[in-house]
Amino acid sequence: MSNNMPQYQLRTVDIIVYPGFKALEAIGPLKVFDYANNCLQQRNLSGGYAVTIAATRIGMVPSDTLMALQATKAISLHDLPDLALIVGSPDIEQALRDSPEITAWVLQAAPRIQRLAALCTGSFFLAEGGALNGKRATTHWSFAERLRKHYPKVQVDADAIFIHEGNIWTSAGVTAGMDLALALVEEDFGREIALEVARDLVIYLKRPGGQSQFSVHLASQMTTHPTIRELQNWIMSHLADDLSIPKLAARLAMSERNFARVFHRETGESPADFIEDARFEAARRLLEENTSPLKVIAVQTGFGTEEKMRRVFQKKIGVTPKVYRERFSTTA
């Protein structure tokens, strides 16, 4: 190997599972690390990831699907990896009751381990072990309120794809664990390697937007009424248009009263509330990802004025768009 080639270290990784864990959350990051190893080897570079499946005891661990994983290591405070990832469960309360050893391990390991990550509802293990006290953290958007309610010392961000604070990492639901793993690869081996892994896996290196874009779009997909679902999708693509009740009702050839009644019956919210949510979430993404003036973003997202956008932000998250950008912008 040439003397001017980068010298990377081998990093040990424990993917911590337990009965009922989400299989995809374990396999997704595992493949990211596997592809990173392949990329490094193809470039004749040193380093990579030595990945182990760990549990409270050695043996087969059943997942939430038909598959199980073989744990070849029992978690221990005497053999900490460079990185530990705790995967989530669809029934996290039951998992916490069934695997208290993981919570006890978190309590002791968090201050000592180089990096500790929780994927999706795995963040509940970190919260229960006190590792998230006073820290920003995320989880699957549908569990965010539960995390906030049960652990008030945690600063829950329901929109983030993943969050890195100190030696603690948390990610949103399921496939967001791959986003987190890619970010770790980029931190360890640089953007070029991470981008190559993303290309090989045909996924984003940096997914555009936050969880909110998926929660709104998924909510629209859950609507059983095809005409209302199509209208929701149209609204999200035309936020700067006139989205008044008369215009929308006319688009569906309905009376205004019948349109409002059907929309609420099918979605559980009024057209105005849905539009406000969609505009708010679109504005959040733009504030995070570009440097356009606030008044431009207000127009692009249909608020019309910066003042109206500010009022909605204050109502929903208690901060102004300017403060939100200062805290969460990903642009240099």
Looking at residue 112, what is its pLDDT?
Answer: 97
Q: Give me the helix-helix angle, 256-267 and 271-289, nearest 10°.
A: 60
Supply the pLDDT for residue 319: 82
Q: Tell me: the pLDDT tens digits for 182-228? A: 999 999 999 889 989 988 998 766 665 566 555 555 555 556 678 89
CA distance 326 to 303: 20
Q: Which of 248, 121, 129, 111 is nearest to 172 (CA)?
A: 121
Global pTM value = 0.68
User: Could you please report the per-residue DSSP string of 243-310?
Assistant: --HHHHHHHTT--HHHHHHHHHHHHSS-HHHHHHHHHHHHHHHHHHH----HHHHHHHTT--SHHHHH
Phi, psi of 286 (to 5 degrees): -65, -40
The structural domains of the chain, with segments of one domain joined by +, span 10-201, 211-328
Q: What's the topology of domain 10-201?
A: Rossmann fold (3.40.50)
Selecting from 3.10.105.10, 1.10.10.60, 1.10.630.10, 1.20.20.10, what CATH number does the domain 211-328 have?
Answer: 1.10.10.60
> What is residue 2's predicted lDDT score, i.e. its pLDDT?
47
Query: What is the DSSP code (8-state) at residue 319?
Result: S
Q: Which residues of the chain have pLDDT under 50?
A: 1-2, 332
Query: Which distant-in-sequence residues (6+ apart) come within 8 Å of 135 by Cβ?
Result: 154, 155, 165, 166, 168
Task: Tell me the residue type at 95.
Answer: A
Dist CA 43 CA 47 (whole Å): 11
Sequence-separated (6 or more) residues with CB below 8 Å from residue 191: 205
Helix or strand run (H / E) with residue 186: helix 176-189
In the prediction, which pLDDT does 332 show? 41
